[in-house]
Structure 1
């Protein structure tokens, strides 16, 4: 059985209101009559969680005292009873959120029709209030979830940052350093470098497809795999393997990514410098742009190509070898750098990068300044710069 609907009749004609109440006794309307305006205000304001339909039989100036019935968030619909009103008075009532207007004289059937019209409107008010509360609760839950996610992302970023190598580092005559600006809390770009047997400077830069936690997880895996390989070579005193590095390294990473099945791929540049012979051996896994070599006042883009990692099985990456000058700078960037450089075409962007590097003093800070990366607050893609220098 449905609960009775509440009707408050407010005015001074108690005898007439009693007749209305008797007429409505055969319906589901529960009628309360108020002749004291303060009483009805206290009742309405004291039951803020419940709704009622209010019928106001009074002058327009008195109706204004009940304007609290309307407005945003209210579920109390009200009907105004007027006698010989002007068009302005009718408009004023509706502007003050009146649900309906009854103009005297009217019969009891008209009264009931007005009540039913207003009740339908009031039902919408109650439903909308419920939807609003549900939406507010959902928004609160969403905000809480976002805060938790943000905290997790910040914690993940701190972990990822802690796994990056210290920058800058010097190994004999060589200096290596890096700069990374993630597009999100977690980065898909990652770099690593180690000096093995005080002779081989091994380094890499990787760019994992996508963004977020899954891409960042793969960068953690890369660091683990590289560290494990190098520790094994050191433990076994395998200097021949280090002399061939990075031969086999990219293939090993490729197999591990495919085995995990993360549906991720990455590009990579992996290099190893024999600091006694001053020679660079490197493999390219679809990394772009190619590293820039600065020497004798000239800048040149190195050559090399190869497939990305994590897509193809049984792929071999060729090893290129290059004798390095006594004084040089090797500048390795991710494709995110190209995203923020001016230029209409890829050639324009690469030319700008070459000019910017040529005008720098080859230090990491100077290169980033010339490329406009130091003041970079946001980027559509992760941005990475890695430099290896000798003789500076």
Structure 2
């Protein structure tokens, strides 16, 4: 049941769904406002200032994504839960990226799930408000905190050392394969991570991770993921399991492990296996964005693969794809912090500029970093990571 009496706004063009939700939530102790489409919903939102918005994604006049963007722009402190049909998961990924607090899949057979999502979102807001109040009183406790600073700094240095020691050596060159990366953390501890290793000569597994948030808890998730991947590799080596050879199975395993850990963090991850012997590329995606950039026999494109992030949904499913190439293959990926360098441009323009930059630099990480002038960026709002893996059946000189 709801704590206190919050005001909710339910926006859905399906009157039966809207009224059913409203009736249930009113019985649960909420004040509920209703709107039949996005335009009317925004009018109610501005007039009545609800504490939370529950909104369908597919509606006439103004869809749920447009409503979400306006609400987040005007009132980022108001939780926004999207309601989506099971067939439009790409819209859900976009909604989460634009700032949605949570999502619910239609048809809603158990309204208690809706109430739980609302309670959780409102509780998160309450805690944020409490944290803001708490920060206003920190000046009175600064003196006591001084005694612990040296210990905390030592712990952070140890954590950074552990995290850095897990990164693979770079650049990697063996059996015609090349791999390189750059990781530029926004804080002392990074929520980004990359790794690659040969499953056998000429077969390179590689992945990039972007954990939500920053700091110690995010770094713990990167350690958990890396250790689980290594465990799967050892199980494959000793013929205990074949999971590591199948990217989608790796993602399913990591999703369950992250949920079981109860750290409360989710992560995006793209994983691929490049087989230079058979000239195939097998890959799977767990909501990682921006999408990887591929070059296959001269053709460059973005590899758009909407899916579920790790650590959010126990029943998440991950698809696996395989492609063949004849003469050359390259893939470059980055964390979304790289697109925050120039926020004056629309997101679609930044994605296009990233693809053009990767292509112009011929997938060379040093050349990309030089063009972006990453060495000159001392502080950034998010971690920035680039990973490139190539198999060139030709002589090549890096564009540095």
Provide TM-score, normalisation by structure 2. Answer: 0.60
Aligned match of 1:5: none
CA distance in 2, matches of 1:295, 1:375: 32
Q: Secondary structure at the match of 1:247?
A: helix
Q: Distance in 1 between matches of 2:165 and 2:305?
A: 31
Q: Give the counterpart of 1:215 among 212, 215, 218.
A: 218
Distance 1:139 1:260, change over 3 A: closer
> Is 2:289 the counterpart of 1:291?
no
Shift of 1:275: 2.1
- Give deviations 1:93-118, integer Å, cap 9, x for gaps: xxxxxxxxxxxxxxxxxxxxxxxxxx
1: CA distance, partners of 2:210 / 2:188: 15
SS of the residue corresponding to residue 381 of structure 2 reads: coil
Rg larger in structure: 1
Distance 2:139 2:275 in 1: 63
Shift of residue 342, structure 1, vs aligned partner? 5.2
Q: CA 1:178–1:325 in 2, change beyond 3 Å: closer, same or farther? A: farther
Contact 1:197–1:234 (Cα < 8 Å) also in 2: no
Q: Contact 1:356–1:371 at 8 Å: present in 2 too?
A: no
Query: Does 2:217 align with 1:206?
Result: no
Residues 212/315 of structure 1: CA separation in 2 closer, same or farther (3 Å cut): same
**Structure 2 matches for 1:145-156, cutoff 5 A?**
145-156=148-159
Q: Deviations over 1:272-321 (max 9, x none)?
A: 11221111111111100111123565532113121111010122100011
Q: How many residues align?
A: 256
**2:243–2:250 Cα contact (<8 Å) kept:** no
Report the equivalent of 1:16.
none
Q: Deviations over 1:319-368 (max 9, x none)?
A: 01122342232111010111113542111111221222232143210011
Q: Please show how residues 58-207 of structure 1 align to structure 2 within 5 Å.
A: 139-207=142-210
**Which is further off, 215-224 or 323-332?**
323-332
In 2: Cα distance, 1:323 partner to 1:281 partner: 9
For residue 261 of structure 2, what is the aligned residue in structure 1? 260
**TM-score normalised by L of structure 1:** 0.61
1:226 to 229, 241, 249: 229
* CA RMSD of superposed structures (Å): 2.2
**Could you list the per-position Cα deviations for residues 225-278 of structure 1 after superposition, in whole angstroms to 9, with x for gaps in the alignment?**
00000011011186x656x52131100001111111111111110111122111
Unaligned runs of 5+ in 2: 1-137
Alignment partner, residue 313 of structure 1: 314
User: Aligned with 1:350: secondary structure?
Assistant: helix
Return the offset for 1:175. Answer: 0.6
Q: 1:302 to 1:136 in 2, by over 3 A?
A: closer
Alpha-carbon displacement from aligned partner over 1:37-95 (angstroms, at most 9, x marks no partner): xxxxxxxxxxxxxxxxxxxxxxxxxxxxxxxxxxxxxxxxxxxxxxxxxxxxxxxxxxx
Q: 1:382 offset after TM fit, Å?
A: 0.7
Taking the aligned partners of 2:257 and 2:313, their CA distance within structure 1 comes to 12
| 5+ residue gaps, structure 1 | 1-134
Q: Given that residues 184 and 383 in structure 2 are in contact (C-alpha distance below 8 angstroms), is that contact kept between their aligned partners in structure 1? A: yes
Which residue of structure 2 aligns with residue 38 of structure 1?
A: none
**For 1:178, what is the secondary structure of its paired residue?**
strand
For residue 188 of structure 1, report the CA deviation from its aligned partner: 0.7
Residue of structure 1 equivalent to 2:122: none
Give distance in 2, aligned partners of 1:136 and 1:281. Answer: 54
Q: Following the alignment from structure 2 to structure 1, what is the Cα–Cα distance between the partners of residues 206 and 298?
A: 25
Aligned to 2:4: none
Q: 1:180 to 1:325 in 2, by over 3 A?
A: farther
